[in-house]
């Protein structure tokens, strides 16, 4: 298929480009580089033999979308582009609605103009909110507690409405749990611009000596060791879920919602210990009070994705920590000092 990938230069998008090209899809990236650098695409190209074009532009720009649609003629869109910082979303709610909801609307409107009828959307487990039961299945009530989560849920509703109005259309909504890890080549990975908000990149920066200690946000939760439990998923497994979702979208109509997680959960202390084993160093920690808005535990029931799309996660916790460490230690400053565009053997 010909696949337009919005936000393709980002963390999850870049890994997905590699998996899509490995399966023979032709890809085109649209990214405004708000949270990425074009150097990512040089590395993706060096890791793949596939066909990739790219445009610098904003998903809210209808004229730019029309240009990309007319030139590239996608069969499907994988829509990653968005803002993702939960804390920031409370400070900048209008920006989050504008990009995450307005951007999704603009993409669907451009797809309508171009006659493109298939979309895969990046949603989040954060749409569920405080668990009524765990593991969450896709029928769990959705009561997001952050503006970020509310924008993802609003976009889900728009996508569902679009498929109801267009019986020949398909929207696959993927609710990601906690993506971590990096490509096995150690050439692409997560490269947060400022202080990492998320656990794994923060631990990696402590391990490399950029930060003194991890602050554990609360050790008084009702969990086995008192720290928060999450369902961490390797980013390559997550990338492959998009390939499976495209295959699924090609043979179905309507909206489908799928949890994308492993079904296993680990605590903050589990993650610290596993990372310490991967890098062979102690990770200094200090315990502080709970972070506002955090919940004690999250875990996916990912059986719907397995049954309907034939997708299941295969990477272990060790794969997640080892690949993060390989990426972090080979690229202590992320993509910042990128000069090397040489071909890498995948």
Q: Are 283 and 276 in contact (CB under 8 A)?
A: yes
Q: Are 183 and 131 in contact (CB under 8 A)?
A: no
Residue showing the smallest CB distance to ligand NAD in the complex: 10
Options 128, 136, 148, 266, the catalytic residue: 148
- The option from ligand NAD, ligand UFG, none interacting with 256 (CB < 5 to 8 A, set by class) reads none
Residues that bind ligand UFG in the complex, under the rule CB under 6 A: 84, 86, 124-126, 177-178, 197-199, 202, 214-217, 228, 230, 268, 291, 294, 298
- The option from ligand NAD, ligand UFG, none interacting with 59 (CB < 5 to 8 A, set by class) reads ligand NAD
- The option from ligand NAD, ligand UFG, none interacting with 202 (CB < 5 to 8 A, set by class) reads ligand UFG
- The option from ligand UFG, ligand NAD, none interacting with 268 (CB < 5 to 8 A, set by class) reads ligand UFG
Between 45 and 282, CB nearer to ligand NAD:
45
Instruction: Give the DSSP letter of residue 172.
Output: E
Between 55 and 162, CB nearer to ligand NAD:
55
Determine the Cα–Cα distance for residues 261 and 175; give it in Å rounded to an integer.
8
Between 13 and 218, CB nearer to ligand NAD:
13
Q: What residue has token string 């209808």?
A: 62
In the annotation, is 148 catalytic? yes
Within the chain, residue ranges assigned H as helices are: 11-22, 39-47, 62-72, 86-91, 93-96, 103-114, 147-165, 199-207, 235-251, 268-279, 303-309, 317-330
Q: How far is the CB of 217 from ligand UFG (least distance, A)?
A: 4
Residue showing the smallest CB distance to ligand UFG in the complex: 228
The answer for residues whose C-beta is within 8 angstroms of residue 298's C-beta and 6 or more apart is: 125, 128, 131, 134, 136, 177, 178, 229, 230, 231, 265
Q: How far is the CB of 146 from ligand UFG (least distance, A)?
A: 8
Residues that bind ligand NAD in the complex, under the rule CB under 6 A: 6-7, 9-13, 31-36, 58-60, 80-82, 84, 99, 103, 122, 124, 176, 179
The answer for residues whose C-beta is within 8 angstroms of residue 89's C-beta and 6 or more apart is: 83, 96, 146, 147, 148, 151
Q: How far is the CB of 11 from ligand UFG (least distance, A)?
A: 11
Classified as helix, coil or strand, 257 is strand
Strand partners, 332: none
- The option from ligand UFG, ligand NAD, none interacting with 32 (CB < 5 to 8 A, set by class) reads ligand NAD
Q: Which residues are catalytic?
A: 148
């Amino acid at each position: 298929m010909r696949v337009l990938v919005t936000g393709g230069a980002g963390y999850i998008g870049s890994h997905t480009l590699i998996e899509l090209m490995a399966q023979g899809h032709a890809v085109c990236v649209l990214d405004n580089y708000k949270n990425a650098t074009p150097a990512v695409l040089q590395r993706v190209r060096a890791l793949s033999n596939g066909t990739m074009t790219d445009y610098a532009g904003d998903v809210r720009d209808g004229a730019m979308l029309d240009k990309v649609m007319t030139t590239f003629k996608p069969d499907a869109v994988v829509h990653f582009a968005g803002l993702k910082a939960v804390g920031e979303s409370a400070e900048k709610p209008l920006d989050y609605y504008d990009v995450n909801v307005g951007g999704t609307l603009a993409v669907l409107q451009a797809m309508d103009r171009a006659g493109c009828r298939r979309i895969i959307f990046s949603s989040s487990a954060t749409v569920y909110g405080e668990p009524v039961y765990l593991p969450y299945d896709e029928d769990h009530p959705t009561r997001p507690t952050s503006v970020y989560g509310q924008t993802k849920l609003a976009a889900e509703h728009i996508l569902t409405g679009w498929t109801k109005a267009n019986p020949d259309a398909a929207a696959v909504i993927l609710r990601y749990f906690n993506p971590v890890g990096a490509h096995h080549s150690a050439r692409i990975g997560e490269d947060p611009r400022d202080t990492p908000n998320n656990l794994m990149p923060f631990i990696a920066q402590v391990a490399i000596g950029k930060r003194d200690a991890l602050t554990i946000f609360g050790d008084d939760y009702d969990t086995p060791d008192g720290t928060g439990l999450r369902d961490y998923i390797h980013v390559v497994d997550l990338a492959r879920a998009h390939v499976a979702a495209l295959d699924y979208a090609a043979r179905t109509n309507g909206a489908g919602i799928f949890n994308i997680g492993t079904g296993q959960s680990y605590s903050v202390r589990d993650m610290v210990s596993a990372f310490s084993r991967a890098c062979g160093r102690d990770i200094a920690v200090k315990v502080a009070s709970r972070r506002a808005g955090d919940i004690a535990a999250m875990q996916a029931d990912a059986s719907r994705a397995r049954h309907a799309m034939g997708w299941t996660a295969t990477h272990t916790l060790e794969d997640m920590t080892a690949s993060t460490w390989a990426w972090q230690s080979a690229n202590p400053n992320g993509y910042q000092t990128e000069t090397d565009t040489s071909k890498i053997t995948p």
